[in-house]
Amino acid sequence: MKKNYPTLLILFTFLNVFSQSGVGINKTTPQQQLHLGSSTGTIRVDGLNATNNDYNGGVAGQTYPLYVDSNGDLTLKVTATNNSDGTDAYTTAGVNGTVAITGAQANDGYEVVEITSYTFNVTRNTVLEIKYSLSVEVFKSSALDIIQDIYARNITNFFTLDTPTLLSTTRRYAAHSKCYFNFNNPDLKGSGAVDPVKPNLAPANASTGYIYNSGTTYMYLTPGAHTIRFYGSVTSGTNNRDTYVRFAGGPDSIFMRLY
């Protein structure tokens, strides 16, 4: 019977070294299971190139983000907790879509509404990425009449983290504002008059349509349950000026991803 003791010894030695040290390429003492020893070496995976992968943009000189899924597989595909991806993320009927300032409210010229909220349960320390774009319309009242006075309105959108009650000291993430102004009263223009309560005698005239608040933020989440609240606010100055703001009337977008 032919005996192959030297061959078996070499194979056993190779497997033993592999199990203890890993594989080194241009590296005699690998420090990981796979260790590239070249200072200029790169890795090429044919399954990720432009020919074989629909998520590779295929533009020469450009790079594309690489991710790892729950199985440890490398992928170019982006997945997210929330991603409107070209569809309308919010509708006025589906969220708290309006906020208004009227004379019947506290005389501070400020009102805020919680538009919607999101809940997350995470089992590890992670980072939440949020990107949004929200449509805004500004009117004088719920009758959708146009503002004509001399006062500007500031409309802001923002997120909060784990704060059931909004306070002045609450941190506001991804805050973005627009200032709306439309002084269109020919009865006052050029006359030197400064009385803002003088009757508007001319029909309202202003550009109508959507303006947008857009923002990006990153929140650090610890293990446990978290609530992310999305707010909209309006201010007309220190005194109440009739204002009606409608959110989400146009095409809106939201993107949320946990890292």
Q: Write down which residue in 75, 91, 118 finishes a domain.
A: 75
203 Cβ contact list (under 8 Å, min separation 6): none
pLDDT at residue number 147: 87
The reply to whether 53 and 117 lie within a common domain is no
pLDDT at residue number 77: 87
pLDDT per residue as tens digits for the range 123-133: 999 999 999 99
The reply to whether 70 and 195 lie within a common domain is no
The reply to whether 129 and 192 lie within a common domain is yes
The reply to whether 174 and 189 lie within a common domain is yes
Domain count within the chain: 2
pLDDT at residue number 177: 97
Q: Is 36 exposed, middle or buried (0-12, 13-18, 19+ CB in 10 A)?
A: middle
Q: Which residue has the higher pLDDT, 86 or 234?
A: 234
High-pLDDT (> 70) share of the chain, %: 83
The reply to whether 141 and 37 lie within a common domain is no
| Whole-number average pLDDT of the chain | 86
The reply to whether 95 and 223 lie within a common domain is yes
Give the domain extent around 37: 5-75
Q: Which residue has the higher pLDDT, 214 or 64?
A: 214
Place of tokens 């933020």: 217
Q: How many CA atoms lie within 13 A of 51 on its CB side?
A: 3
The reply to whether 92 and 199 lie within a common domain is yes
The reply to whether 131 and 172 lie within a common domain is yes
Total residues belonging to the chain: 259
With a cut of 70, say whether residue 17 has pLDDT above it: no
pLDDT band at 249 (very low <50, low <70, confident <90, very high): very high
Q: Write down which residue in 75, 97, 118 finishes a domain.
A: 75
CATH of the domain at 163: 2.60.120
pLDDT band at 50 (very low <50, low <70, confident <90, very high): very high
pLDDT at residue number 106: 81
The reply to whether 156 and 28 lie within a common domain is no
The reply to whether 135 and 172 lie within a common domain is yes
Mean pLDDT along residues 27-55: 87
Mean pLDDT along residues 210-221: 97
Q: Which residue has the higher pLDDT, 172 or 12?
A: 172
The reply to whether 194 and 127 lie within a common domain is yes
DSSP category for residue 50: T
The reply to whether 91 and 44 lie within a common domain is no
With a cut of 80, say whether residue 13 has pLDDT above it: no
Q: Write down which residue in 24, 57, 75 finishes a domain.
A: 75
